[in-house]
Structure 1
Amino acid sequence: MEDILRPLYQERASQPNTLGVLIIEKREKAISLTDTFDVVLLIIVKELEQPVFVKHYTYKEKKAALQIVSETQLKEWLLLGTNRRIIDWIYNGKIVFDRNEYISELKVELRDFPFYGRKIKMGLEFAKLIRRYMDGKAFFENGNNLDAYNHVVHSLHHLARLAVIENGFHPEVTVWNQVKQIEPEIFKFYEELVNSEEEIEKRLELLFLASEFLIHSRTKSAIVHLIDVLKEKEQWTFNEMMLHPELSYYSVDLGMLVEYLIDKKVIGVVEVETKGQGIYHRYYRAIE
């Protein structure tokens, strides 16, 4: 197969812009990993006009995908977890070209999972968890149990990913297999939610109580990155927080996370007078 595909990447491998080339073959029990394609050719380059360039091919009644990705996009995927297949591709793909051991070093970095990268990923997962949990709770309190159920399932998924990261591993596509080994308590809650024969209202009631404890026990470690950034200044407007290059990663989940942490007395609110009588600017600060 590699001989057949070589013409697709050989020319690009000779270009100084190309950092590495991987071949990822379809695995019988994980066809979604390659979007049902028999093989994916992943080419990592320093610079690209668009973040990702994709081309599809057929050969001998099989199909192949060529995916060229910029180094910037790759690093964003790894940081934000927005392309969960990429970890598997880098870990398990066959290296056919590796300029200055770029991919080999990337594999080592992923395996070691530097604490700085882990802090950011934990913060992002925690923010998503809080968003889903709070939305689910609001739906539950308003009697919209099916919507609440959907959000609780997603919140448990983020909790599972958070637990995996906290233990020094990258969440894989099959995250529940990881959690079963690493944090069986979370896996048990997930099983109870989806397999219990109790009425959905009763299941949700119990899960919200359990989630409250599990979230509380992880809050301190999960928000280290956010609090470290907030300590850079005495106080912040929310807009200043959104514009910070690292806090911008939290995107639409930042506001909900800040309000949750105010409620938990981790972040304080500073009121500053405006020209309007009785109206105050709202600033935020990290509480020591």
Structure 2
Amino acid sequence: MNGIKEQLVARLREDEAVISVLAVDNPSLFSALTDGFDLLLLVISNDDLKTDQQYHYIKDNCRIQERWICTSLLDRIIVQGERRNLIHWILKGEILLDRNIYLESLRHRMLEFPQEMREHKLLIEFSKFLRRYSESKEYVLDDHLLDAYNNILEALHHWARLVIIEAGLHPETTVWRQVKGVNPGVYKLYEELTMSKETLKQRVQLVLLACEFSVMSKMERCCKMLIQVLASREQAWSLHELQQNDKLADIRNELPLVLNKLVKKILAKEVIYTMDEQVSVLEIRYTNL
């Protein structure tokens, strides 16, 4: 296998756009970590046109998946935490090529988990939690219990990721195993929701109640980055201005819901501006308290 890796890296080294290459060996007969291939190569490039391209091939009876990604997309994925397999590859993969120690520096920064990255990830996870939690409450009221269950399970998943991030860790692919050691209470709720003998409606309502008391109390902490943006100028912000802010780009679609909750929890306030005097249209803008 080492000989195969050396030959593959020699080929990739000739491409000046390639910054780093890492390898992930298949840990089992079939592993979702490598999509079942014997070897996964992650090629990091400064060529945006090649990002997300994939190649499957065989060399010396070794089935190989080669995946390309550009640095800008990689940075976004790390913050968003969506592709947890990729984060695992970055942290655990074998570095085969690393020009200007790009990958080594990135790995070190992820392990260090700086405060700004942590605040950003907390805001993203909280906004996703809030969406699923709110939808589950609505489905329960309409007696759509399976939809309510599905959404509260997703909300609980985001809650688990929140407590893991608060502990200074990156959420792994096996979130529930990870959260069991970080916050047994959240893990216990997961067991209650999925394995309790109570009715489906009772299980969903139990978790909704826990979310209301535990996670909603984290709103100020999790929305710190958004609150800081609101306080960064004296003039109130329109929704459009906030959605164009680079720091809030990852929660653009969830901003209306989050802002509404911040106002109701008296963590932000609405300011009314006249948009069109002729038709008496008033614009809602937002600022800190």
Q: What band does the TM-score fall into relative to the shorter chain?
A: over 0.9
How far, CA to CA, are the matches of 2:212 and 2:13 in structure 1?
Answer: 51
1:115-194 matches, cutoff 5 A: 115-194=115-194
Shift of 1:164: 0.7
Shift of 1:99: 1.5
How far, CA to CA, are the matches of 2:51 and 2:261 in structure 1?
Answer: 34
1:184–1:30 Cα change, 3 Å:
farther
- Alignment TM-score, normalising by the size of structure 1: 0.94
Aligned partner of 1:215 in structure 2 is 215
Aligned partner of 1:197 in structure 2 is 197
1:35-74 matches, cutoff 5 A: 35-74=35-74
Aligned length: 287
Aligned partner of 1:282 in structure 2 is 284
Shift of 1:279: 3.1
How far, CA to CA, are the matches of 2:46 and 2:18 in structure 1?
Answer: 6
How far, CA to CA, are the matches of 1:149 and 1:62 in structure 2?
Answer: 43
How far, CA to CA, are the matches of 2:77 and 2:29 in structure 1?
Answer: 24
Shift of 1:104: 1.6
How far, CA to CA, are the matches of 1:21 and 1:119 in structure 2?
Answer: 29
- Matched to 1:112, the amino acid is E
How far, CA to CA, are the matches of 2:29 and 2:129 in structure 1?
Answer: 29
- Answering whether residue 203 of structure 2 is matched by residue 240 of structure 1, we say no
How far, CA to CA, are the matches of 1:57 and 1:29 in structure 2?
Answer: 18
Q: What percent identity do the matched residue pairs reach? A: 31
Structure 2: runs of 5+ lacking an equivalent: none
Instruction: Answer whether contact 2:29 2:36 (CA < 8 A) is retained.
Output: no
How far, CA to CA, are the matches of 2:62 and 2:16 in structure 1?
Answer: 31
Specify the SS of the correspondent of 2:177.
helix
Shift of 1:4: 2.1
How far, CA to CA, are the matches of 2:216 and 2:30 in structure 1?
Answer: 35
Aligned partner of 1:87 in structure 2 is 87
Shift of 1:43: 1.2
Moved more, 217-226 or 142-151: 217-226
**1:77-131 C-alpha deviation (Å, 9 max, x unpaired):** 1011121111210121111112232222221111100100110110000000000
How far, CA to CA, are the matches of 1:279 and 1:123 in structure 2?
Answer: 31
Shift of 1:61: 4.6
Instruction: Answer whether contact 2:45 2:70 (CA < 8 A) is retained.
Output: yes
Instruction: Answer whether contact 1:52 1:73 (CA < 8 A) is retained.
Output: no
Shift of 1:217: 2.6
Aligned partner of 2:257 in structure 1 is 256
How far, CA to CA, are the matches of 1:57 and 1:15 in structure 2?
Answer: 19
1:94-109 matches, cutoff 5 A: 94-109=94-109
1:8-47 matches, cutoff 5 A: 8-28=8-28, 31-47=31-47
Specify the SS of the correspondent of 1:3.
helix
Instruction: Answer whether contact 1:13 1:21 (CA < 8 A) is retained.
Output: no
Aligned partner of 2:273 in structure 1 is 272
Structure 1: runs of 5+ lacking an equivalent: none
Shift of 1:16: 3.5
Moved more, 19-28 or 150-159: 19-28
- Matched to 2:160, the amino acid is A
- Matched to 1:284, the amino acid is Y
**RMSD of aligned alpha carbons:** 1.6
Aligned partner of 1:3 in structure 2 is 3
How far, CA to CA, are the matches of 1:9 and 1:153 in structure 2?
Answer: 43
Specify the SS of the correspondent of 1:49.
helix
How far, CA to CA, are the matches of 1:25 and 1:242 in structure 2?
Answer: 41
Aligned partner of 1:77 in structure 2 is 77
